[in-house]
Amino acid sequence: MRRIGSDTGGTFTDLVAADGRVAKLPSTPHDPVEAVRDGLRLLSSSNREGLDEFTHGTTVATNTLLERKGAAVALVTNEGFADLIEIARQDRPSLYDPRADRPEPLVPREWRYEVRGRLDPRGRELVPVDVASLPPFDPVIEAVAVCLLHSDLNPAHEQAVAGELRARGYDVTASHELSPEFREYERTVTTVLNAYLRPSCRSYVADLVSLAPKVGVLSSAGGLVPASVAAEQPARLLLSGPAGGVAAAAAVAAACGFPDAVTFDMGGTSTDVCLVLGGRPEPVAERSVAGFAVRLPALGVHTIGAGGGSIARIDPGGALVVGPRSAGAVPGPACYGRGGAEPTVTDADLVLGRIPADEPLPGLGRLDRAAAQAALDRAGLTAGGVIAVVDAHMEEALRVVSVARGVDPRSLALVAFGGAGPLHACALADALGMPVVIVPPRAGVLSAVGVLTAARQVDLVRSWADPLDHTGAAAALEQLAAAAAAEAGEPATIEARFDCRYQGQSHELRVGEVQDFHDVHERYNGYARRDQPVEVVALRATARVAAPVVVEELPVVHRERVVGPAVIAEEDCTIWVPDGWRAEPHETGALVLRRSGDSSPEGAPGTLRR
């Protein structure tokens, strides 16, 4: 089988073939699939065999949301609940900043419609649904989100409303088909997001389907879903690309003997970090993207606007600020020579000698150090100042996924990848006292490696109607696991979990057995209330079908031992080994960087080229 994995980022599009060949091209924001096609042609020129399977991770859904380029969406909900998505939760985006606002709702007030009908908290009917009470919609409406109270327990009312609207010709997302979980606000927002993204993402996925006989798309949970699912449920694709890198980084770290780690992916536009314990990336049932709650399975990736293309400037208060605005692929950093005039992190790294000016970058050629210095000079900035500020931002992100979750970073490895991650990793490891930095093979395209080697995955969830009555819960979980296995369609690894909490708590922990909850709670929070009743609020089952290609089977990248200070210029990334550090090759092809007891000679850093 000839299989190729691809990851489309904000600055570069990366492709990796099962035989280890790599293509890295500047992304094409006007048509993201164009760069993918170009990459496939490059890989095909050296291998004439037909493509059997294409797997893809993408930022298209995320960018559509960030840029507010989605569809005109109507929301249908119960009488009295049209303002739920605007009222939201009582927590504020920034507790002490009165000017910090939530993002503007994706559905304006005049496009929110109410329907008569009501279910009680157990899903029993109180008032029959009346589809005739639906008023005519504004003619500009392109898609409809339907989210009715307690439809996670009983979808009958939603099914009636969705059926009526589909008969009228509307593209309808119903919450029970996408996110059948309790918490009305989060479920409503997730449903609206899916309706908002679907028209544009459906067209994008249709273009992908033409590339190979079999196409899979990476979900935010780190597993592949069929193209048909990706087209209908694009909310599952928010932050799909970073999830691939996390999975591959976790596999490399475990193979190097470090099952506990933090993954650090610094690309051109953003930095993504994730905690890995016992070789498994941390999963979450819900996350926030651009300020919107997404109630779907995902990896616990924390993202900040700090990448190689992040623009540095002096703010009105006179402080040096880096990001979140990025130069992106077009025009890119000043040193790219494509018309960019504002200084970026990449320009600062180049001026400091961490990126060799005479080393050509894929699709860009040699970088212009003079242009980078000129951009910094125009802005009144120093390269060292820019790097210090962006490193501080990334250090804080690493603390969010480690220290803030009760995990000591001094016990973790830092797995650095992305085009810029290995340039900054040692400084961050020094700041947090982390003992080792691992740079995986093909680090600059590791998200594409993760997409290539991702398992096919089915995630199912079911709300539990009576949290304190566990009668039948174990049998229901077995049925859910069987349903996930059946949907996977092949022999699969099954994981089944309960979402549990103490009565009165508002957040849950996942456990394999309800009786394990007290121990798990104590491990996460430092205490347990063993005399308190435990609530079961949801059941979860995941089925995974392993990929025919795994990370450890890819051809080994041969590297050499390096003592810092040194620059290692590779085809897909650049690695900075500072003074006081050494890099040792591992049998997997990874570089393992540790602090060296030997003092390195003074002078300009050397360069090791690939």
Per-residue pLDDT tens over the stretch 103-125: 889 999 999 999 999 999 999 99
What's the pLDDT at 610? 39
Angstrom distance (rounded) from CA 145 to CA 171: 9
Per-residue pLDDT band at 599 (split at 50, 70, 90): very low
pTM (two decimals): 0.87
Angstrom distance (rounded) from CA 204 to CA 32: 8
Residue 364 predicted with pLDDT over 80: no
Angstrom distance (rounded) from CA 225 to CA 244: 13
What's the pLDDT at 390? 96
Per-residue pLDDT band at 39 (split at 50, 70, 90): very high
Residue 262 predicted with pLDDT over 90: yes
**Gyration radius of the chain over CA positions:** 25
Angstrom distance (rounded) from CA 276 to CA 42: 34
Per-residue pLDDT tens over the stretch 499-532: 999 998 988 999 999 999 999 999 888 899 999 9
Helix, strand, coil percent values for the chain (each to nearest 5): 30, 30, 40
What's the pLDDT at 122? 92
Angstrom distance (rounded) from CA 196 to CA 67: 12
- Token readout for 469 is 């009555």
| DSSP of 452-464 | HTPPEEEEEEEE-
- Token readout for 57 is 């991770």
Cβ-proximal residues to 506 (8 Å cutoff; 6+ apart), any chain: none
**For residues 509 and 500, is the Cβ–Cβ distance under 8 A?**
yes
Query: Mapping DSSP to helix (H, G, I), strand (E, B) and coil, where does residue 250 land?
Result: helix
Task: Tally Cβ neighbours within 10 Å of residue 391.
Answer: 18
Per-residue pLDDT band at 601 (split at 50, 70, 90): very low
Residue 291 predicted with pLDDT over 80: yes
Angstrom distance (rounded) from CA 2 to CA 205: 21
What's the pLDDT at 577? 96
Residues 58/60/61/63 CA torsion (nearest 10 deg): 120
Helices (H), 324-368: 345-351
Residues 188/190/192/197 CA torsion (nearest 10 deg): 180
Tell me the mean pLDDT in the region 38-49. 77
What phi, psi does 256 have (nearest 5°)?
Answer: -85, 0
Instruction: Answer with the residue of higher pLDDT: 7 or 572.
Output: 7
What's the pLDDT at 568? 92
Per-residue pLDDT tens over the stretch 169-220: 999 999 999 999 999 999 999 999 999 999 999 999 999 999 999 999 999 9
Task: Tally Cβ neighbours within 10 Å of residue 537.
Answer: 18
Angstrom distance (rounded) from CA 112 to CA 135: 11
Residue 422 predicted with pLDDT over 80: yes
Q: What is the mean pLDDT of the chain?
A: 90
